[in-house]
A and B are shown apart, each in its own frame.
Chain A
Amino acid sequence: MTFINSKRKIVTEATQTFTFSRRAMVVGGLQGAIGAMLIGRMAWISVAENEKYSLLSESNRVNLTLIPPRRGWILDRHGKPLANNRTDFRVDLIPQRVVDGEATIGHLAKLLSLEPDEVDRIREELDKSAGFRPVQIADKLTYDQYAAISVRLPDLPGVAPSQGFSRYYPAGATVGHLLGYVGPATAEEYKARKDPLLITPGFKVGKDGLEKAFDRHLTGKPGAKRVEVTARGKIVRELTTRPDTPGRQVRLTIDAGLQEYAGRRLATQSGSVVVIDCANGDVLAMASMPSYDPNSFSDGISHLEYEMLSKDDHVPLRNKTLQGLYPPGSTVKPMVGLALLEAGISPQDTINCPGAIRVGNTLFHCHKRRGHGSLNLRGAIAQSCDIYFYQMAQRVGMDRIASMARRVGMGQKFDLPFPSQSYGTVPDPAWKERKYKQSWQVYDTVNATIGQGYMLINPLQMAVMAARLATGKQLMPNFLLGAKRPAPAPVGVSEEHLVIIRDAMSAVVNGGGTGGAARMNVPGVLIAGKTGTAQVRRITMAERAGGVRGNASLAFKLRDHALFQGFAPFDNPRYAVACIIEHGGHMIRNEDAPMIASDTMSFLFEPEKAMEKLETLEKGWGGPPAERQARQMAAFRLAKAIEKGQAPPPVADNASNAVAANSAAPAAPAPADDANDAPPPPGSNAAGAP
């Protein structure tokens, strides 16, 4: 059968050979043609498109990495560093490049022997990270650890060891709230600025406090490094390096020694101390304790440590100097006294204090149940008599007092380089009408004159008040050394009145008043001040009948705040101080506001003696803050482990310990050394034994 019209062509051996030759030449020709085409194609790629592919090859080979700039130092008024940089070996994880996160973390944890809560933190940050933001594994590595990671890089995709600088705060926790801390930029910050520097491993931005306020100023210009890398990201060699330009420094008005002293002097209390230079309003110290350690925050804090800090009732995460608002209590009395004098009340006018008076329907008590008897202004301030001020305030009215309060800085928002500040309230009739749509009552005036009710103040404002009472000038707090400011406006009171108030405040401390604990042991320097107690609970009539409960018997959160404001020397004020102890309740004399304030003040006059006293006292408190915090952390970690059942609960006595050990002994094979003391087990060859 034929499938085509084949008869048309007669095929013979000869024609077939001819066909073959022809077709073989076609095949050979095709081969040559394809060969030529391939050469042409190659020429196109390698000559015509050479530039494009050379570029691509270079961008494959060369990796440009930014070198994070060293952060500018933060210096105190004497040039001593409050924040500087330390050379540091560190390891980060670039989430984008990680292949098997769990295995990588496990491997690193073993290499660097990381704590379990650190591993949890890394895991969590890796989950949350948006891919481009580096997650810190560890820093402050030893060179050996750094080398151990570096040699294993090919097996650890996404791991980036680097040598850089890390922020260091020599004073630790005592500067925590003042300076804030630094940390990696957040995904939002990167989206907003699109600066590649923000996602460079090791680069950190200010997160709080002055670090945040002066962030741009402190951030320098990044350097750059061109390195040759393999496809797997391993660095083969460095090509060129342009060094970084460190950030500019910031010089503060803070006195590093005083700041640290104040922080330590706050002891185990939850409180704050602010010291202001009466000459120009420079803030010399602004301590809020307890505080987080900015060193550990800047390294990436562990979940556990954060949990501990946030659960602490001493609120170490809040900057109390600016964000803590307290009823000022009796510390407003000198200010109210000044308002009374201004309103024409004679300093010699007396009031009889019977222990309580009736205002409207309510009976208002003096802090002294039996009363002070007859008092003039000086006595009322020195003894902190409430009745005197209840009576006098009713005579002059709230508006005059509120005006004075504002002039001495209460309720005033200052222009400060801090991200947030709470600035308190000075109530007056107009304010109450605006806020509560209620008319002002006499009892409101009575409450306000003793710094209770609606009146609120923060510790910085209290220090400003002290400085303004001391100088009669409206000093403004300032943190930058040598900052140019207009001359302060006067408070607008006569020097004569100020002398009376300063004298009365000196009597508080040195004249048998309520602040005797603040007496300063510096020859020739007398401190003037005013104590205060701010109630945080309402004392009912029933309780008053049965006797007011002592602070010691109350829960921490219900105890009174203890306050002190003052200045020294009383007759020629140089420094002003304010101290507030949250829920201090005046329970421990050497941890109470007056003595803390005066010791802090004495550091400015006789630092050695003040330090000596502090070191003696600290022994009783369990050492300096860092030591106490480390101990607290260890206890918290143990408690957590017990909660999770990872560690046995501590046993009450040694006996039960011994029982546990004994019951375990028979099960375990006895070690060879112990065998001498133990009888040979039955069945063993005991022939050698005597």
Chain B
Amino acid sequence: MSIVPQPLTQFPWRVLLLLLAIATFGTLVLYSAAGGSIFPWAVNQGVRFCIFSGMALFLSRVPLEIFNRFAFPAYGAVLVALVLVELIGGVAGGSQRWINLGFMQLQPSEFMKPIIVLAVAKFYAMLPVGEIRRWNAIWPALVLIGFPFMLVLVQPDLGTATMIAAGGVTVMFLAGLPLRLFIGTGLTGAALVPIAFSFLHDYQKNRVLIFMDPESDPLGAGYHISQSKIAIGSGGLWGKGFLQGTQSHLDYLPEGHTDFVFATMAEEWGLLGGTLLIVAFLLLFRWGIRVSMRTPDKFARLTSAGLTTTIFFYVAINLMMVMGLAPVVGIPLPFMSYGGSSMLTVMLCVGIIMSIDRSTKRRANPGNWA
């Protein structure tokens, strides 16, 4: 028994400090992106981080059983919302991703990212152990993933759809489906790519080619990636210095405070800042994976690892995009990009993982939980 009171030692200090460090860094970058002003972005982002941290801490106190019980109803509700968005969007005559609730705009596809993980995890938790290598273990999960994937894809929002599918498939992989299924699918997909490419329209091919070589169209579709690479590349090892970035301050870098915030950061902090940030994210993922490996509960471990992977996809897709390794899809960088909904989603994930961590610890030494 240490002299520090029990609730304080149980408090997830380490992960909170890690998040605080990342978010503080993000806020600093936004301060610079606004030309050395806390308005309009840095102050909002800071306030949001405090609110959502509070929300995550609250979620960490919610018993795991609640998430378990509400996984399917929540999935159903978000799916309905996605259909509604599609209908309203169809009426409005354009692509629409949100429902206006009056006081806020609800973007259901954003919620689908963590909830697909919960739903698929719940399904595999319910599945009897012996069924895991049977057809019955596969098709319900595919249906669970397929509906929201298609709905989001037609919005159209390729980035979010990809993340939903990837989150669900990751849980399928973790649940123990035969490995050759994944390898086989992967190989078939790779073989189909050239065939699919030949079926594309010329302008679509062109887009793919521009992604492969953004400098071939520096003023058009390749502009974002070109400018982003210039920002990162000109930062060098140590960066140009805080508030000294020219690409961002002179508006050459588009979306320098949202999707391309990493480039804004890299220009001023260089490879050093970028490495530190990536390492910090890796520490966060390591924490999530370790939580999942510690917990004995099937639903909990699938959820924890799945949600960790969801956060990972945010980071990986965004960074690949800004470094010219992936096409430009609107996936923000968690805690760094200005914007509320991505932070909300990521904090939901973090909160649920914290809750799992807490229940694991409680189970390990039950006497501590009053």
Q: Measured between alpha carbons, how far is A21 from B173 in the docked complex, in Å?
A: 12
Q: Measured between alpha carbons, how far is A60 from B228 in the docked complex, in Å?
A: 13
Which chain A residues lie closer than 8 Å to B305 at the CB level?
A: 20, 24, 27
A303: CB under 8 A from chain B? Answer: no
CB–CB A57/B323 < 8 A: no
Segment of A45-53, A311-319, A638-646 in the binding face: A45-53
Segment of B68-76, B129-137, B149-157, B346-354 in the binding face: B129-137
A38: CB under 8 A from chain B? Answer: yes
Minimum CB–CB distance from A152 to chain B (whole Å) comes to: 17
CB–CB B323/A45 < 8 A: yes
Number of interface residues of A (CB under 8 A): 47
CB–CB A46/B135 < 8 A: no
CB–CB A229/B250 < 8 A: yes
| In the complex with contacts A4-B178, A28-B286, A31-B285, A9-B230 CB distance below 8 A | no
Q: Measured between alpha carbons, how far is A3 from B135 in the docked complex, in Å?
A: 6
Q: Measured between alpha carbons, how far is A47 from B45 in the docked complex, in Å?
A: 31
The interface centre, meaning the residue of B266, B323, B325 with most chain A CB atoms within 10 A of its CB, is: B323
The interface centre, meaning the residue of A21, A38, A230 with most chain B CB atoms within 10 A of its CB, is: A38
Q: Measured between alpha carbons, how far is A57 from B240 in the docked complex, in Å?
A: 11
Segment of B82-90, B107-115, B269-277 in the binding face: B269-277
Which chain A residues lie closer than 8 Å to B302 at the CB level?
A: 20
Q: Measured between alpha carbons, how far is A39 from B278 in the docked complex, in Å?
A: 7
Number of interface residues of B (CB under 8 A): 55
Residues 175-198 of chain B, each 1 if its beta carbon lies under 8 Å from chain A, else 0: 110100000000000000000000
Which chain B residues lie closer than 8 Å to A43 at the CB level?
A: 271
CB–CB A20/B301 < 8 A: yes
Which chain A residues lie closer than 8 Å to B274 at the CB level?
A: 39, 42, 46
CB–CB B293/A21 < 8 A: yes
CB–CB A23/B132 < 8 A: no
Q: Measured between alpha carbons, how far is A42 from B130 in the docked complex, in Å?
A: 46
CB–CB B285/A28 < 8 A: yes
Q: Measured between alpha carbons, how far is A47 from B319 in the docked complex, in Å?
A: 17
Q: Measured between alpha carbons, how far is A293 from B352 in the docked complex, in Å?
A: 83
| In the complex with contacts A32-B282, A43-B271, A56-B234, A3-B134 CB distance below 8 A | yes
Q: Measured between alpha carbons, how far is A479 from B6 in the docked complex, in Å?
A: 105
CB–CB B233/A49 < 8 A: yes
CB–CB A57/B285 < 8 A: no
A236: CB under 8 A from chain B? Answer: yes
Which chain B residues lie closer than 8 Å to A31 at the CB level?
A: 282, 285, 289, 309, 312, 316
A6: CB under 8 A from chain B? Answer: yes
The interface centre, meaning the residue of B133, B178, B233, B323 with most chain A CB atoms within 10 A of its CB, is: B233
CB–CB A231/B320 < 8 A: no
CB–CB B132/A42 < 8 A: no
Q: Measured between alpha carbons, how far is A11 from B175 in the docked complex, in Å?
A: 12
Q: Measured between alpha carbons, how far is A27 from B176 in the docked complex, in Å?
A: 13
B162: CB under 8 A from chain A? Answer: no
B170: CB under 8 A from chain A? Answer: yes
Residues 228-257 of chain B, each 1 if its beta carbon lies under 8 Å from chain A, else 0: 011111111100000000110011100000
Minimum CB–CB distance from B113 to chain A (whole Å) comes to: 17
Residues 283-323 of chain B, each 1 if its beta carbon lies under 8 Å from chain A, else 0: 00110010011001010011001000100100010011001
B129 contact from A11, A42, A47, A232, Cβ within 8 A: A11
CB–CB A6/B134 < 8 A: yes
Within 8 A of A (CB), among B115-171: 129-130, 132-135, 138, 170
Which chain A residues lie closer than 8 Å to B129 at the CB level?
A: 11-13, 16
A46 contact from B134, B246, B270, B298, Cβ within 8 A: B270
CB–CB B316/A230 < 8 A: no
B271 contact from A17, A46, A54, Cβ within 8 A: A46
A41: CB under 8 A from chain B? Answer: yes
CB–CB B233/A50 < 8 A: yes
B51: CB under 8 A from chain A? Answer: no
Minimum CB–CB distance from B249 to chain A (whole Å) comes to: 8
Which chain A residues lie closer than 8 Å to B293 at the CB level?
A: 20-21, 24-25
Which chain A residues lie closer than 8 Å to B175 at the CB level?
A: 20
The interface centre, meaning the residue of B250, B279, B302 with most chain A CB atoms within 10 A of its CB, is: B250
| In the complex with contacts A27-B173, A35-B281, A38-B323, A47-B271 CB distance below 8 A | yes
For B247, the closest partner residue in chain A by CB is A57
A2: CB under 8 A from chain B? Answer: yes
Within 8 A of A (CB), among B186-233: 227, 229-233
Beyond the given pairs A16-B298, A31-B312, A56-B230, 19 more chain A to chain B contacts, judged by CB atoms under 8 angstroms and listed by A's residue number, are A20-B176, A20-B302, A27-B173, A31-B289, A32-B285, A35-B278, A35-B282, A35-B285, A38-B278, A38-B323, A42-B271, A45-B233, A46-B270, A46-B274, A53-B233, A56-B234, A61-B250, A230-B251, A236-B250
Chain A residues within CB distance 8 Å of chain B: 1-4, 6, 9, 11-13, 16-17, 19-21, 23-25, 27-28, 31-32, 34-35, 38-39, 41-43, 45-47, 49-50, 52-54, 56-58, 60-61, 228-232, 236
Give 7 nearest A-B pairs by CB, closest first. A53-B233, A57-B234, A6-B133, A28-B289, A231-B251, A19-B176, A3-B135
